[in-house]
Amino acid sequence: MPVQHSSLVGKTKALTCPMGIVHLLEALFSCITFSLVASNRGWWHANSIWCIFSWCFCFAVTLVVLLVEFVGLQHHMHVSWKNFHITFTMYASLFTLSASVIYPFTEVKDEQYCLQQDYCIAATFFSCLACMAYSVEVTMIHTTPGKVTGFMATMPGMIKVVETFIACITFVFIFNSMVHDWHGALKWCLAVYCICFILSLVVIVLCISECINWLPCASNKILSGYTLLAVLLYATATILWALYNLPIKDKQYCLQQDYRIAATFFSCLACMAYSVEVTMIHTTPGKVTGFMATMPGMLKVVETFIACIIFVFIFNSMVHDWHGALKWCLAVYCICFILSLVVIVLCISECIKWLPCASNKILSGYTLLAVLLYATATILWALYNFQSKHRQPKWARDCWDHTFCAWDKPMAITALTFINLVVYLADLVCSAHLIFIQA
């Protein structure tokens, strides 16, 4: 009776196929890399620890992928294996790329002994080979028919991976430049990085676990609104981080200055990544299907975001004897913010149709009212804040020491009020245009 080899052949094919050979090379190169670094005993910098983590993480997960595909467990797992596979491969290529760049700059140039320097150079070489292997796998996935089947294999999904990776790099540089007396603006920047990182990571986990359809409303609307909000948050964080961190006057903190410049650079990259994702969502056919993905919907997000920034400045400049006109301005900001937020919630939850009359007419009428209210607030805020009997317009020369002057905050509120007025005007024009098209 002939011996059956079909089961064994079916399992070994996962190792002998082109993708399996690439997996074996990835595991080999990453294993050699962190083995060389571990054998080179010495003091490890924080950046070196990041590189070692990258290589060990890639090696361990690659072994898990090989084991799962060899045994054939991917068909019995309760996650989308294709989404997990492309997500990990993207992360691994980015991790090894960063390690291949950071490690030689922090270790090779500092080594004085030839043997230790040879170890570092060899580790850098194999790290580059591992990065090339993971990049080849990403290319193979996107060029093989039938592989691009999940959200994480599409361009927006890959950009999500890039966004979270850049956030990780930013955290590394921030950790190396932390001080005990951070300004409130820098705490805001750190909060922005953390919030956007967590939300993007949640999206990735939901896609891998195939739970994105469990959301109570359309996922494309949530992703569109969140991505636009992330662009605005990162834009403010990039500006504030550069404004309050650069330059450092004390020459002893040259290394911290480099870390903060790097954090600013990666913050700009993350903002660009989110901007690219927003552009792709609104230029891909079939993606713009809800109100939040249209121009009026995006402007609604901008309006509420600017209102939040105004509230921050108002909270930091409040006095006990505000004039009635300034209280009116505060009421305008609150009313318009709450109404815009209600519109966004109704659109996301698909409850806008529950309104007793046509929603487009209600939105146009509200936008017109908001334009009139913000016009009065813009005039009154400037009028009652720039008069000498209400505020002293005295520019202090020592206000550039990483803090706002008392006079700068009312000016910032005036500028943001005018910007929001312009945004509401653009919203009114776009809403009216849509009404005329539908008519």
DSSP 187-248: HHHHHHHHHHHHHHHHHHHHHHTT-GGGSSS-HHHHHHHHHHHHHHHHHHHHHHHHHHHS--
Q: Is residue 298 very low, low, confident or very high in pLDDT (cuts 50, 70, 90)? A: confident
- Triad 234, 184, 272: Cα angle to 5°: 10
Selected residue with higher pLDDT from 404 and 31: 31
Number of domains, the chain: 3
Range with the lowest mean pLDDT among 127-141, 233-247, 261-275, 409-423?
Answer: 233-247
378/407 same-domain check: yes
Q: Is 182 in the same domain as 125?
A: no
Structure confidence at residue 29 (pLDDT): 93
What local confidence, expressed as pLDDT, does residue 284 receive? 63
**Span 215-219, mean pLDDT?**
62
pLDDT at 400 over 60: no
Measured distance CA(291)–CA(306) in Å, rounded? 20
- The amino acid at residue 38 is A
Q: Judge if 26 and 134 occupy the same domain.
A: yes
The answer to whether residue 424 scores a pLDDT higher than 80 is yes
How far, in Å, CA of 337 to CA of 116, rounded?
60
The Cα 79–Cα 208 span in angstroms is: 6
Q: Is the pLDDT of residue 199 over 80?
A: yes
Q: Please tell me whether residues 121 and 82 are part of one structural domain.
A: yes
> Comparing 143 with 28, which gets the higher pLDDT?
28
219 — pLDDT class (breaks 50, 70, 90): low
Distance CA 289, CA 220 (A): 8
Same domain (yes/no): 3, 149: yes
Q: Which of 120, 153, 186 is the last residue of a domain?
A: 153
Return the pLDDT at 70.
83
pLDDT classification of 410: cutoffs 50, 70, 90: confident
Average pLDDT rounded to a whole number, residues 133-160: 79
The highest-confidence range among 119-133, 206-220, 239-253, 319-333, by mean pLDDT, is: 119-133
Judge if 3 and 147 occupy the same domain: yes
Annotate 388-418 with DSSP letters as a single string: TTTS-----GGGGTTS--TTHHHHHHHHHHH
Q: Between 259 and 337, whose confidence is greater? A: 337
Closest by CA to 384, choosing from 429, 324, 299, is 324
Measured N-to-C along each axis, helices 81-106 and 114-143 cross at an angle, to the nearest 10 degrees, of 150
pLDDT at 67 over 90: no
Name the more confident of 167 and 179. 167
Long-range pairs, 320-327, Cβ under 8 A, ≥24: 323/384, 323/390, 325/380, 325/381, 325/383, 325/384, 326/380, 326/381, 326/384, 326/385
For the chain, helix, strand, coil in percent to 5 are: 80, 0, 20
Angle at alpha carbon of residue 201, lines to 200 and 206, rounded to 5°: 100
326 by DSSP, 3-state: which? Answer: helix
pLDDT for 242: 82
What's the pTM?
A: 0.70
Q: Which of 266, 289, 312 is the last residue of a domain?
A: 289
Is the pLDDT higher at 358 or at 314? 314
**Residue after which a domain boundary falls, among 153, 187, 203:** 153
Q: Which residue has the higher pLDDT, 242 or 358?
A: 242
Whether 397 and 310 share a structural domain: yes
pLDDT band at 375 (very low <50, low <70, confident <90, very high): very high
Residue 249 has a pLDDT of 53
Query: Within 10 A of 126 (CB to CB), how many other CB atoms are there?
Result: 22
User: How much of the chain, in percent, has pLDDT values that exceed 90?
Assistant: 16
Q: pLDDT tens-digit profile of 383-394?
A: 877 664 444 444
CB neighbours (10 Å) of residue 74?
16
The predicted pLDDT at position 437 comes to: 54
Q: In this predicted model, what pLDDT tens digit does every residue of 239-295 receive, in sequence order?
A: 888 877 765 555 545 667 777 888 888 888 998 898 888 877 766 655 555 676 677
**315 shares a domain with 426:** yes
Angle at which helices 408-438 and 324-348 cross, to 10°? 40
Name the percent of the chain lying above pLDDT 70. Answer: 74
Banded model confidence at residue 138, pLDDT cuts 50, 70, 90? confident
Domain with 206, as residue range(s), is 159-289
